[in-house]
Structure 1
Amino acid sequence: MAYRSSVQESTSETPHAMLYGMEMELPIYISSTPVEPETDKVFKTDYAQAMRNNLRAVHDRARENVQQAAKRQKRNYDRGIITQPIQVESFVWLHQEVRKKGRRPKLQFKWDGPYLVTTKLSDVVYRIQKSPQSKPKVEDSNHTKANN
């Protein structure tokens, strides 16, 4: 109940509102709200139409909020990225993510290389090769660093 009634950061909506088109009535609200006699009779077709409109409005707001959250998250991610342009025919180090058995992680060398950059496939993806006889690898710039 706590999860379904909590506003989610990316959608700015509660899961209950996303599913049912209205906010959840929590026990605290039910006990503190005076009961008013119902004067208007709501027809079932009016209720269904109102529910459809509520769901459409909630989903539209959530869609807009998710797009804004994605832009904000990308901006925050890009702020921490330090991009170094890597030139073809330069040497780079490749980050090793595999741990060797029997060695302490803090004693393992985390970078392998140097590798020769043979081709630039996109702004962040490169084809690298350790030696002329070795098989080339395709890596992105987040896993490599320039050899200084």
Structure 2
Amino acid sequence: MVERFNATLVTQLAKYCEEDQHDWDEWVPYMLMAYHAVEHEAMGFTPSRLMFGREICLPVYLATRKPLDEGLPVSHTKYVWTLQCRIEETRHRTIQHLKIAGQAMGRWYNEQARDAVYSPGDQVWFHNPCKRPGKSPKLQSPWEGPYTVVERISAVTYRITPAGSSRRTKVVHVDRLWRHSGKGVFTWGPRVSDHDSNSDIVGVTARRIVTVTLVW
């Protein structure tokens, strides 16, 4: 569980830290606050609710004046009893949500599973998680490109070449390829405006504030 959370944290830090990776530690508090305040899709609750039995108060509440969803009891005994009942109810509901989410995920995967097929001339990203001197491999993007598909050798292997070059080719497995949809367009997210100079290359830090749903 801890390793899964670390992977999620590193993924988010890689999206926001500078290219030289010198400021990654400054983003940790913001990433943790966002993680604790976002409802997990599979469990149906935020980590704060699961851990403390209540939601955390965010700075945005000062501007929106969003009312809290609970009132504090007058006596300490009543507060402890209320908190205990809330945590117990949250635990039972989380177990039900996880069971339903697991079944739905299995059905969705079986329905959506398709063989990836590329044709000569298609633009693709190439997954190449190599280490670069002076940089942490966890905070750098493993995707390179775009590359151009030169030949489909078999059902699972392709010959690709860097865009604009026809001499340097490499044979790779299809699992290491991802379709490139053009400048400012990604197959895993919404379209980014053309004036955003950081949107055409995977791995360049995006300096935009986006809402991300984290799945634990």
TM-score, normalised on structure 2?
A: 0.33
Is the radius of gyration larger for structure 1 or structure 2?
1
Comparing both chains, which one has the higher relative contact order based on Cα–Cα distances under 8 Å and sequence gaps of 6 or more? 2
Give the structure-1-normalised TM-score: 0.47
